[in-house]
Amino acid sequence: MPNSVLGINMGNHTIKVVELVRRGSTFAVQNLLIAPTQDAIVSGEVIQPDVVGQIVKGMLQAAGVRTRKAVIAVGGQTGVIVRVTELPKMTRRELMQAIPLEIERHLPFQAGTAVQAYTLLKDPEEVGESEQIPVLFAAAREDLVNAYLMALQEAGLSPLGVEVEPLALARAVYAAQGFGMRDGREDQINIVVNIGHEGTEISFLEGTKLIFTRLVPSGGRHFTEDLRDALGVSMDEAERLKVEQGTAWVEHPTPAPPPAAAPTGLETQVLPPTTPSPPAAEPVPFELPTAESAAPPTIAFDLPTEPSPPSQPATAPTLDFSLEFEPTPPSSTPSEPAAQLPSLEFTPSAQQEPSLTPLVGETSVGGAEWLPTPPAEAPPLPITIHNAISNRLLDLAGEIARSVEFLASQRPNLTVQRIYLVGGGALLKDLDRFLENQLGVPVERLNPFAYMDVAPVAGRLGRDYIEQTAPIYAVAVGLALWAYL
């Protein structure tokens, strides 16, 4: 195990890097880095690997980072699919034969061009004769994965592993809960809402296991576009106003959206027709666990010890989707864990219409009623911004509600413990308050650093900055933890 590991989250808008090192029974944050993507990543696809690689390389050089080991995630709206499917009860040997065929049936691209992995969400031995066996699988186009790996090679890094963002966030939640010391029950349901630049991913965790996830094609960029259109300003100015004065809460919240139809499937990505792939790479080794294996099935792909030249197709790294980790709880924590909120049944709260007092019985003297009406005073800018994005906020609340309703139709006794907000969109002022008011479930911004030692970076960044921006780094934290948990 290297002394430290980099978790690199290559987003459509920014690239986030977290360097973690394990010190005894806890983790220390060595570096937190962020830089613009410069339009080199679009809809989750690295379209300019050399540019992305140089950005990452420059970030690491400026910070004096020496480790070369990194874990990355592939994601976005094209070329990646994460889904939970179900198979009838069968033996483990039969499952090993049936699962690849089941995955192929769901793929929107050719199976021969995909990197795949899966895990069983239930032990087949514990499933009744009339029950289904839930299987979580992920697949990505091989050319998409290779583009990410080429960017790492350009940066001079070696990949330890590649996975998808929802699984990285499961580890980030585990860290934020004190590595099992806070709200650590395996049967509780938490929701993670990852508000990215292009889309929002809504994931459900049962303990540390991902059980359901879906992608909503609406993210931070769409909030900015709504503001641009309402105020008649540029995108840059709209983004600045959103960040500096935007708010999701006013004194008279807009009524909650009416219930709508449940989502039609469990896929997390909206996948347009694929583009022609580059020349085929060497076949990706594919290992199936034997029937004698006691652990849930996983897929392993061999990793090169050194990065291959950028001109050659990159070898696919390990895709590990098993969340069976049992880290040693930290012997001491930076702060006392927050008091546990009670588990609440999901019941979207009814909203009152804003109080409007019509003017009736108005009288005037001296003919003043014939004078020109002075122009109405413009509302404060934060309220104007809120009004411009209010429909988008209601859509977000509605999508979360519909996701819960869909899962509750399969789990009649579903109880949601808490909703965590991550991603750049999570920083919108009072978004947690707005969603809690709309949905009737405790909502908080995820702080994956809550039980870590941040002293190595606090001196130059400040503890306030680390706490305020923690949700942005959640995926990168989960990726770095991949090497340890």
Cα 74–chain centre separation: 11
Is 334 domain-assigned? no
User: What is the distance between the alpha carbons of residues 93 and 298, in angstroms, rounded to a whole number?
Assistant: 14
At 372 the pLDDT is 52
Is 358 domain-assigned? no
At 149 the pLDDT is 96
Strands 158-164 and 69-74: parallel
Is 145 domain-assigned? yes
At 231 the pLDDT is 94
Closest CA to 439 of 324, 339, 359, 344: 344
The more confident residue out of 370 and 457 is 457
Three-state secondary-structure class, residue 164: strand
The amino acid that residue 54 corresponds to is: Q
**Structural domain for 469, as ranges:** 5-329+343-351+379-481
At 276 the pLDDT is 43
Q: Of 337-346, 380-389, 455-464, which gets the smallest average pLDDT?
A: 337-346
Q: Domain count of the chain?
A: 1
Closest CA to 404 of 171, 412, 253, 168: 412
Is 336 domain-assigned? no
Q: Are 198 and 77 in contact (CB under 8 A)?
A: yes
User: What is the distance between the alpha carbons of residues 418 and 409, in angstroms, rounded to a whole number?
Assistant: 19
At 101 the pLDDT is 92
pLDDT band at residue 208 using 50, 70 and 90 as cut-offs: confident
Is 246 domain-assigned? yes
Q: For residue 201, what are the contacts with CB-CB under 8 A and spacing of at least 6? A: 75, 165, 166, 192, 193, 194, 213, 214, 215, 216, 268
Q: For residue 85, what are the contacts with CB-CB under 8 A and spacing of at least 6? A: 102, 103, 106, 134, 135, 137, 266
Is 370 domain-assigned? no
Three-state secondary-structure class, residue 130: coil
User: Would the pTM of this model clear 0.85, i.e. be above it?
Assistant: no
Q: Mean per-residue pLDDT for 345-357? A: 39
Q: Mean per-residue pLDDT for 103-112? A: 85
393-428 pLDDT, tens digit per residue, is 999 999 999 999 999 998 888 899 999 999 999 999
At 112 the pLDDT is 81
pLDDT band at residue 315 using 50, 70 and 90 as cut-offs: very low
Q: Mean per-residue pLDDT for 342-371? A: 38
Residue 6 has pLDDT above 80, yes or no: yes
Q: Mean per-residue pLDDT for 337-345? A: 40
Is 249 domain-assigned? yes
Q: Is 283 exposed, middle or buried (0-12, 13-18, 19+ CB in 10 A)?
A: exposed
Is 356 domain-assigned? no
Closest CA to 477 of 1, 4, 7: 7
Q: Are 205 and 190 in contact (CB under 8 A)?
A: yes
Place of tokens 């996983």: 298
CATH number at residue 256: 3.30.420.380
Packed helices 220-231 and 381-410: angle between N→C axes, nearest 10 degrees: 140
Residue 113 has pLDDT above 90, yes or no: no
Place of tokens 């989750």: 44
Q: Mean per-residue pLDDT for 280-306? A: 34
pLDDT band at residue 1 using 50, 70 and 90 as cut-offs: low
Q: Mean per-residue pLDDT for 19-31? A: 93
Share the mean pLDDT of the chain. 79
